[in-house]
């Protein structure tokens, strides 16, 4: 079941992929990480899918990563008399805390924090930016605006404020209930929606501890401005281009995507590119050529993983979507240009023993045409540093911790195996040989580059490199 590619696939589960047969089929087609979107479905729905995934993991003997995606605070209008209105460009329009149904002159916005945070001149977007308002003046309970771009607005449409730092916790009461349930189910990664600042990650970390790794969803302009601070506290990031594309001009999203992927790789943390990657495959058995190019671009940019959302959760062709994405990834990675880009974009190692060993392992593996790099790790940090190097051979992660093994399927180039820690050099080499052969990552006589730490079993002590024969 080893993948013949390095970039990973995240597949979202939903009504279209709710049975053991469907989930196994998309795993075998190439899905490495399974996303549970807590904006939809019940706790019982998600529990059933986790049970299916853990049973599949047991049957196949391969760790499977489960990512829970928290809904986050959704800012929505209230209701309208007659359920909808049409706003005309240039007209005056008031938002108010008054919850009475709205009309073409006013609408309820039941979020008091917004009235305190908004500024004169701020832009307010409604329904993914289809309607735009410009703030003229505001008070503690009213916001008077001019309609910059008119259109139809109906009940409870979403509201975005791209140039306002909102004093809202990204963890709602629902999120906290969902998080507790997800941690009880043993999920591996938690994605936090609508991150604005590093303090948002710190707030989640206090609740999660070391029970799961944290992904920061980058979908707010404020998050882009605070990227370095957020990356310092998160375990990875998601380039969530849906909301990011609403709150920023479309032409800004591609360079921001590249910038965020470079930043994540520079600190050795995995990054996912998400949203509408193969969107037409929700209703069609093949993607558009533009979508195929979009997926390929994320691979050339060095993403650890690319994500399918509605394509696998509710689409008509979930298996086909995973299969074609798998083929695109594999094809791009065979392109000589891809290897040139990975080599040219490599960052200098940090002045640590672990980074020095990881950089040396990549160079030795390349020079000797080794079959694989084998990393012994407890926390996963050694394997992450090896992946940061983007070697031209796969990385076999050996770890005694099942929790670590389950997080690694998200990481570029890594094939994880739970294995007892080595106690001496001879055992280290022997186990690396045995697992590499068993997992079909090497053939007899192939060279392996093995990294570990002495004393054995000490987290974060990577300080040795051995060359062995399988």
DSSP one-letter string for 245-312: HHHS-GGGHHHHHHHHHHHHHHTT--EEEESSTTGGGGTSSS--HHHHHHHHHHHHTT-SEEEESHHH
The strand ranges marked E within 384-470 are 395-399, 414-418, 447-453, 462-469
* Nearest by Cα to 195 from 159, 255, 236, 157: 236
How do beta strands 142-149 and 92-96 pair? Answer: antiparallel
The residue written with tokens 């990204």 in the block is 170
The residue written with tokens 């916790």 in the block is 169
Selecting among 74, 76, 130, 447, the annotated active-site residue is: 76
* Nearest by Cα to 397 from 426, 424, 421, 423: 421
Q: Is 204 helix (H, G, I), strand (E, B) or coil?
A: helix
Q: Buried (b) or exposed (e) across 146-184, using 16+ Cβ within 10 A? A: ebeebeebeeebebbbbebebebbbbbeebeebbebbbe
Measured distance CA(8)–CA(312) in Å, rounded: 15
Measured distance CA(470)–CA(301) in Å, rounded: 33
Cβ(465)–Cβ(449) below 8 Å:
yes
The torsion defined by the Cα of 272, 274, 26 and 373, in degrees rounded to 10, comes to -20
Q: Buried (b) or exposed (e) across 28-57, using 16+ Cβ within 10 A? A: ebbbbbbbbbbeebeeebbebbbebbeebb
For this structure, is 388 an active site residue? no
For this structure, is 275 an active site residue? yes
Angle at 55 between CA 54 and CA 60, to 5 degrees: 95
Selecting among 8, 35, 265, 388, the annotated active-site residue is: 35
* Helix 173-185 and helix 198-208, axial crossing angle in degrees, nearest 10: 50
The residues, any chain, with a CB within 8 Å of residue 318's CB and separated by 6 or more, are 11, 16, 17, 22, 26, 308, 311, 312
* Helix 20-29 and helix 318-334, axial crossing angle in degrees, nearest 10: 10
Selecting among 145, 275, 382, 462, the annotated active-site residue is: 275
Measured distance CA(99)–CA(110) in Å, rounded: 7
Selecting among 132, 217, 258, 269, the annotated active-site residue is: 217
Identify the H or E element spanning 357: helix 353-367
Q: Give me 258's structure tokens.
A: 């590249």
How far is CA 271 from its chain centroid?
6
For this structure, is 404 an active site residue? no
Catalytic residues: 35, 76, 217, 275
């Amino acid at each position: 079941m080893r993948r013949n590619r390095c970039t990973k696939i995240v597949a979202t589960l939903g009504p279209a992929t709710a049975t053991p047969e469907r989930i196994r089929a998309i795993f075998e087609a190439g899905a490495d990480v399974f996303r549970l979107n807590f904006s939809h479905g019940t706790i019982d729905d998600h529990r059933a899918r986790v049970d299916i995934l853990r049973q599949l993991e047991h049957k196949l003997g391969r760790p499977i990563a489960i990512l829970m995606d928290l809904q986050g605070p959704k800012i929505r209008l209230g209701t309208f008399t007659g359920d909808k209105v049409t706003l005309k460009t240039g007209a005056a329009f008031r938002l108010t805390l008054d919850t009475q149904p709205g009309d073409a002159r006013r609408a309820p916005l039941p979020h008091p924090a917004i009235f305190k945070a908004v500024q004169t001149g701020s832009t307010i977007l409604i329904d993914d930016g289809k309607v735009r308002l410009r703030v003229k003046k505001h008070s503690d309970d009213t916001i008077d605006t001019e309609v910059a771009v008119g259109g139809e607005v109906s009940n409870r449409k979403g509201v975005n404020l791209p140039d306002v730092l909102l004093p809202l916790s990204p963890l709602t009461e629902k999120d906290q209930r969902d998080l507790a349930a997800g941690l009880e189910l043993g999920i591996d990664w938690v994605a936090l929606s609508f991150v604005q600042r590093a303090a948002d990650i710190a707030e989640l970390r206090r609740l999660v501890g070391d029970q799961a790794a944290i992904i920061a969803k980058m979908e707010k302009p404020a998050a882009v401005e605070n990227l370095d601070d957020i990356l310092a506290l998160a375990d990875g990031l998601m380039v969530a281009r849906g909301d990011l594309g609403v709150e920023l001009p479309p032409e800004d999203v591609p360079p921001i995507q590249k910038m965020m992927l470079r930043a994540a790789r520079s600190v050795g943390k995995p990054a996912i590119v998400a949203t509408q990657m193969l969107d037409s495959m929700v209703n069609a058995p093949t993607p558009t050529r533009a979508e195929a190019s979009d997926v390929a671009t994320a691979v050339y940019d060095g993403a650890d993983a690319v994500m399918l959302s509605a394509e696998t959760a509710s689409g008509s062709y979930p298996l086909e979507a995973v299969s074609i994405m798998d083929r695109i990834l594999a094809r791009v990675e065979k392109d000589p240009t891809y290897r040139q880009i990975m080599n040219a974009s490599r960052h200098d190692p940090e002045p640590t023993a672990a980074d020095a060993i990881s950089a040396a392992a990549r160079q030795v593996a390349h020079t000797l045409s080794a079959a694989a790099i084998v990393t012994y790790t407890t926390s996963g940090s050694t394997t992450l540093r090896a992946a940061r190097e983007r070697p031209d051979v796969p990385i076999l992660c050996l770890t005694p911790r099942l929790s670590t093994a389950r997080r690694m399927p998200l990481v570029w180039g890594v094939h994880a195996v739970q294995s007892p820690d080595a106690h001496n050099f001879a055992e280290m080499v022997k186990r690396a040989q045995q697992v590499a052969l068993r997992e079909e990552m090497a053939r007899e006589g192939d060279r392996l580059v093995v990294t570990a730490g002495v004393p054995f079993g000490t987290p974060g002590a990577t300080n040795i490199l051995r060359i062995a024969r399988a």
